[in-house]
Amino acid sequence: MEIMTDEEAFALDEYYTKNPPKVDPTKARVRIPLLRVDSATAEYLIEKAKETHKTPGDIIGEMVQKELAAAM
């Protein structure tokens, strides 16, 4: 992998400063730096992730969405 020159870095910085990427807020994700769960929950999430080919975060998100839908 090539290393970017200072000039290239400054050009990219200037470009993205003047042309920020469009973000769809409905698709934006918020990262939680550290989420502590008990070992049974962690094991469940890991196994469910393997079965469904999803991330543990996706699984948690789906569970929360179901709870929110049920509450309405």
- What is the C-alpha to C-alpha distance for residues 28 and 69, in angstroms, rounded to an integer? 20
Q: What is the pTM of this model?
A: 0.53
- Centre a 10 Å sphere on the Cβ of residue 45 and count the other Cβ atoms it contains: 19
Handedness of CA 52, 54, 23, 4 (dihedral sign): negative
Q: What is the pLDDT along the chain (72 residues), one digit of tens a residue?
A: 688 899 999 999 999 899 988 877 777 777 767 888 899 999 999 999 999 999 888 999 899 999 999 988
